[in-house]
Amino acid sequence: MEPAEERVVRTVEGFAEGLLADFGMELVEVQFRRERHGWVLRLYIDKPGGVTVDDCAAVSREMSSYLEVEDLISHRYHLEVSSPGLERPLRKEADFVRFTGRKARIRLREPVDGQRVFVGILEGVEDTAVVLAVEGKRRCFALSAIDRARLTLE
């Protein structure tokens, strides 16, 4: 049986992806978890050129209406809609292509040459493998081997 938190995330993702496409935006990530001040449903959204406060407010209004009608969450929670920031996560193949030329940090599920974390410049995707230039060497990592990836300023 699927945990309630995962069901909420999956359902919200399904609705939000269509909603955001109508706004010319994309869904980067949905989180639903208990934090210090209570439950938080957090949506990270993006668009070329970045999102504005007005974009976040518009999406928040639409999501609030949807969540109220669907009655998906039976307890109190806070809804947050924001930009993923400068160190945004990279999840889909299209993310790695879109941010070619930018610096990224990739964490692998299993070590390669005794190392799990690689930082370098994204060179795109070839045959479902992310290509990263690390200290002058070209490294390729299967998308399925990547645990987490994000843009980085480090």
Q: How confident is the model at residue 1 (pLDDT cuts 50, 70, 90)?
A: low
Domain positions in the chain are 4-82, 93-151
User: What is the CB-side half-sphere exposure of residue 148 using CA atoms within 13 A?
Assistant: 9
The pLDDT value recorded for residue 154 is 77
Please state the pTM of the whole predicted model: 0.81
**d(C-alpha 58, C-alpha 63), whole Å:** 9
Listed in sequence order, the DSSP H helices in the chain are 4-22, 53-70, 93-98
Ranges of beta strands (E only) in the chain are 26-35, 38-46, 78-82, 103-112, 115-126, 129-134, 137-142, 146-151
**d(C-alpha 48, C-alpha 128), whole Å:** 23
Question: What is the architecture, at CATH level 2, of domain 4-82?
Answer: 2-Layer Sandwich (3.30)
Q: How confident is the model at residue 140 (pLDDT cuts 50, 70, 90)?
A: very high
Q: Which pLDDT tens digit goes with each residue over 141-153?
A: 999 999 999 999 8
Domain 93-151 indexed as CATH 1.10.357.10: no
